[in-house]
Amino acid sequence: MKKRRDTDIFSLSFLDIITCGFGAIILLLVITKTGIPATSIEAAPETTDNGLVRDLQKQLFEIRGQTHILNRDMTDAKEQLSEWKQRIARLKRDKNSTESQINSLQDDSAVQSSITNQFETAKQSLTKEMQRLLAKLNNADTDLVGGIPIDSEYIIFIIDTSGSMVQVNWEKMIKQLTTTLDVYPNVKGLQIMSDMGSYLFSQYRGKWIPDTPGRRRAMVSNLRIWNTFSNSSPVEGITRAISTFYDPNKKISIYVFGDEFTGKSISNVVKAIDRLNPKDSKGNTKIRIHGVGFPIPANAPEHFQITSQRYATLMREVGQSNGGTFIGLN
């Protein structure tokens, strides 16, 4: 008898059950997917769009920033270009101005050259007589102050110390002496004597007083208190000064300050002085003698008027004969 075949546990019925089970699971999954809310399905695209917008906005801001920077750089470049144009314009103006100055200088040089040529031509055309006159003019003596030559290196003052001078003209005399000294700012020697030949400084009798500012101040101070005899005649003082200080190697000037001459003969005095102060071969004396006349009061007695006029006459003659001049003060 045939044995019965063993039953298979994986029969068709079992497979049917399994298949049905899978089908039920799939159906549940489909139902589950169908029940998902629409908002959940659409949320993903919206989220993606927002991120894109933000990226685009960020890029736009960056582009705007770069545009602003470019605009600023372009503005700076325009300003710099404008400055360069202005500088170029200034340089052109300076160049034109310099060229004009150069042309002007060249023209001036040409004019100057023309003037020089004309001058040389005129100079060459001078006659011998004109040249002689020009040479004489160039050699003229210019060492004059108020018509008085000031070329001396030693100065002697002969001062009338009479009563009329002391009482009326003493301060004026001191002022005139100071003014005269100012004309000679630096000499080798000075001396002050009275019209009788006495010395203001006895220690410098027969000697030159060194010229210093201190000595000049001392002269003025001592003159204010000087009191010595006078006979109202400058003759004694002039002759003693020439006899004592005459030196052919020195340039000496004598200034006589006074207001009267009471002597007898004017011509004899002039001759005596000429013998003491002889002229050289050119007619010049070694010592110049100048006279300064001081006024006397208009109401003074008649004999003062006469002696004052005689003093002016004497000193005018002495000055003319001894290379000097006479000045009458008012």
Q: Does pLDDT of 142 surpass 50?
A: no
Q: Does pLDDT of 131 surpass 70?
A: no
| Alpha helices, DSSP H, located in 167-322 | 170-183, 213-223, 235-245, 266-276, 302-321
The letter for the amino acid at 35 is G
What top-level class would CATH report for the domain 144-328? Answer: alpha beta
The letter for the amino acid at 167 is Q
Per-residue pLDDT band at 9 (split at 50, 70, 90): low
pLDDT tens-place string over residues 224-246:
999 999 999 999 999 999 999 99
The span from the CA of 192 to the CA of 163, in Å, is 18
pTM: 0.58
Residue 193 · residue 157 · CB < 8 Å: yes
Domain positions in the chain = 48-138, 144-328
pLDDT tens-place string over residues 172-189:
999 999 999 999 999 999
Q: Does pLDDT of 155 surpass 70?
A: yes
- Chain centroid to Cα 324, Å, comes to 41
Q: What is the pLDDT of residue 143?
A: 52
Q: What is the pLDDT of residue 267?
A: 94
pLDDT tens-place string over residues 307-327:
999 999 999 999 999 999 999
